[in-house]
A and B are shown apart, each in its own frame.
Chain A
Amino acid sequence: MPPLLEVRDLTTYFHTRNGVVRAVDGVSFTLNRGETLGIVGESGSGKSVTCYSMLGLIPMPPGRIEKGEAVFDGTTDLLNCPAKVLQSIRGKRISMIFQDPMTSLNPYLRVSTQLMEPLFLHEKGIAKKEALKRAIQALREVGITEPERRLHSYPHEFSGGMRQRVMIAMAMITHPELLIADEPSTALDVTVQAQILELIKERQRANDSAVILITHDLGVVAGMCDRINVMYAGRIVESGTADDIFKRAKHPYTVALKRSIPSLGTKGKPLYTIPGLPPDLSKPIPGDAFALRKGVRSGGKYDHTPPPMIQVSDTHWVRDSDCELPSLEEVLDEC
């Protein structure tokens, strides 16, 4: 059986007035049925653009998918298929939930209208009554009490966490094989965050779906993901199982990310931070992007040639790097 999704050499550039921004630069990964993949990285590392590219949600222009393929279910190349085909997959076999539930629901339409829309679009000829039943069922499944009464409310009558529940209900109503969650808990209260992640996990199990979880929070992926891709400056720098990443991380960037998780440090000790900023993606980066980061010492091995991916084990791949992280004292001096 082919993997559910096979992405090869996905490259998305934005042609802006200030030059070509290389948002995603040769990303490859595979995702099996029912699996959970975490994509981790800081803002602008290309994790969202990777997923938007696959669903054709990149604004074009200025965005352009330069090359690559994303084969879904062994048959359809999402990047190079007719718009009609992609449209019939979006919302039916691949669903997506977004970061900000306050703005991701249409404020002018009732929740019921928005919930039933995927059904009317993708299950042609479904009766209104049946759709209503499914919508109520979907709301109940995401833990919204009195779904019959709340179904016809408008989004502004729900709280942020409740709206994200509605988003999840809307995404799962067609029983998709793949759910892409773009920072689903970032905009929510901490107490609600855990509930929403738990709900995604629970819905995933019930539907037997695969999940791609985009986040900048390593803590979130730790508990949820089978495999993790760490992205930096539009490229994958390390890829492996949760254990590979958390116990045997090789790439200095992954190591730095891990050291900056607050809960892992000792109480009273200053928190490790990665100094500097990610590089400006509108200029070509011929070598190791992480070497360009302020405070990072590099041996100069990959100044002009791209670092290759090295296989560490069956499941664990890492991009070669001769960079060294600054110590905590150096970081503190910097601040």
Chain B
Amino acid sequence: MFRFIFNRILQSVAVIFVVVTITFFMVRLAPGDPFSSERRIPDYIQQRILEHYGLDRPAVEQYWRYLQGAAPKRFRPDKLFTDDPLLNAFGIDLGPSYTSARTVNQIIAETFPVSLELGAWALLIAVLFGVSAGMTASVFRNTALDYVPMSVAMAGICLPTFVMGPILALIFGVWLGWFNVSGWFVPADRVLPAVTLGLVYAAVIARITRGGMLEILSQDFIRTAQAKGVPYGKIIFKHTLRGGLLPVVTYMGPALAGVISGSFVVETIFQIPGLGRQFVQSAFNRDYFLVLGTVSIYAVLITLANLMVDIVQVILNPRLRFED
């Protein structure tokens, strides 16, 4: 088990390295540079700016210098929970942002927790609603309790967040006045964005849960349990749930990636100061280091999530466990 986790962490590091490398050269391949959208300035000033940021050097040299800055160099637990950005504790320097007075470290420190919180709420809603709806549908299959949630789920899958968000804001923000239409100030402000973001995944998870549960319920060992006199509730929760939720766990990796990349839309609709907006704006601005910084953070988060998915799967499914 520990060897498995160790191997997977090594793999994750390799994946992150590859992602950073590809991104580094891709953003430079895009036409324009960080300053091309600004007012025309004399060439010698332009030259000074490029020199200041090292942009006049060969790309490979820039890449090497970036890697040196971005690589974790130390671990200072005493710096973990200070006002300093978390990354400083590891000696990670993701470079300056060209379009803002702050460093990439600072931008990530300010905006990433907001996105993470939004994503966490959204995933929580998705799992809670999705799993319970899917289980209900599978237990009462081919009745109204199956058809109604599954139809709603189908509609939920079809509705994109940029439609769902304004509708929810209109109903619950404008008409009913229960929540603020936008902003990220009071706890209640979390509700609408998290629901908007989570609903699509709740719908998918509901369908996956239903399928997984029905698959297990049709297995021979469920009949064995019945023949042993196991009551129906126990058959569902003790004999079926574990296997039935495995496909959901598998889906959590892609779901997390989707929630993170989808958060840009929701953050824009509800005016939330999150990382998703920084990510998209940085790409428009050719803000090389900010693009790289956000991509790296996302890459770390997604590989971490997939690692966790793998571990949970091994815990849930004894057949995946390794012989020692």
Within 8 A of B (CB), among A81-124: 87-92, 95-96, 98, 100, 103-110, 117-118, 121-122
If the complex has contacts A104-B221, A108-B242, are A118 and B228 also in contact, measured as CB distance less than 8 A?
yes
Q: How far is the CB of B240 from chain A (nearest CB, A)?
A: 9
B243's partner among A57, A95, A108, A167 (CB-CB below 8 A) is A108
Encode contact with A along B239-254: 1 for CB under 8 Å, 0 otherwise: 1001100000000000
Q: How far is the CA of A109 from the CA of B317 in the complex (A)?
A: 9
B228 touches A170 (CB 8 A): yes
Q: How far is the CA of A122 from the CA of B34 in the complex (A)?
A: 74
A106 touches B221 (CB 8 A): yes
Interface centre among B226, B228, B319 (most CB of A within 10 A): B228
B239 touches A109 (CB 8 A): yes
Q: How far is the CA of A121 from the CA of B219 in the complex (A)?
A: 21
Q: How far is the CA of A121 from the CA of B238 in the complex (A)?
A: 13
User: Which of chain B's residues have a CB closer than 8 A to the CB of A100?
Assistant: 220
Please, how many residues of chain B have a CB less than 8 angstroms from a CB on the other chain?
Answer: 20
A88 touches B229 (CB 8 A): yes
B243 touches A55 (CB 8 A): no
A117 touches B319 (CB 8 A): no
12 more CB-based (< 8 A) A-B contacts, given A88-B229, A154-B319: A56-B226, A87-B231, A98-B220, A104-B221, A105-B224, A107-B319, A108-B239, A108-B242, A108-B318, A109-B239, A117-B225, A121-B231
User: Which of chain A's residues have a CB closer than 8 A to the CB of B227?
Assistant: 55, 57, 90-91, 95-96, 98
User: Which of chain A's residues have a CB closer than 8 A to the CB of B231?
Assistant: 87, 121
Q: How far is the CB of B283 from chain A (nearest CB, A)?
A: 44
Q: How far is the CA of A98 from the CA of B228 in the complex (A)?
A: 12
B221's partner among A87, A89, A107 (CB-CB below 8 A) is A107
A117 touches B230 (CB 8 A): yes
Q: Does A15 contact B (CB under 8 A)?
A: no
Which B residues are closer than 8 A to A by beta carbons?
Answer: 219-221, 223-231, 238-239, 242-243, 316-319
Q: Does A156 contact B (CB under 8 A)?
A: yes
10 A–B pairs (Cβ distance < 8 Å), ordered by A? A87-B231, A90-B226, A91-B228, A96-B227, A103-B221, A107-B221, A121-B231, A122-B229, A154-B319, A167-B224
A106 touches B229 (CB 8 A): no
If the complex has contacts A108-B316, A108-B318, A154-B318, are A103 and B229 also in contact, measured as CB distance less than 8 A?
no
Please, how many residues of chain A have a CB less than 8 angstroms from a CB on the other chain?
Answer: 29
User: Which of chain A's residues have a CB closer than 8 A to the CB of B243?
Assistant: 107-108
Q: How far is the CA of A88 from the CA of B231 in the complex (A)?
A: 9
Q: How far is the CB of B197 from chain A (nearest CB, A)?
A: 32
A106 touches B318 (CB 8 A): no
User: Which of chain A's residues have a CB closer than 8 A to the CB of B230?
Assistant: 91, 117, 121
Question: What are the 5 closest A-B residue pairs judged by CB atoms, nearest first?
Answer: A91-B229, A91-B228, A90-B229, A103-B220, A96-B227
* Complex: chain B residue closest to A99, CB-CB: B220
A98 touches B224 (CB 8 A): yes
User: Which of chain B's residues have a CB closer than 8 A to the CB of A90?
Assistant: 226-229
User: Which of chain A's residues have a CB closer than 8 A to the CB of B225?
Assistant: 106, 117
Interface centre among A55, A117, A167 (most CB of B within 10 A): A117
Q: How far is the CA of A91 from the CA of B231 in the complex (A)?
A: 11
Q: How far is the CA of A55 from the CA of B223 in the complex (A)?
A: 11
Q: How far is the CA of A96 from the CA of B226 in the complex (A)?
A: 10
B229 touches A89 (CB 8 A): yes
User: Which of chain B's residues have a CB closer than 8 A to the CB of A118?
Assistant: 228-229
Q: How far is the CA of A104 from the CA of B219 in the complex (A)?
A: 8
A121 touches B228 (CB 8 A): yes
Q: How far is the CB of B249 from chain A (nearest CB, A)?
A: 13
B220 touches A87 (CB 8 A): no
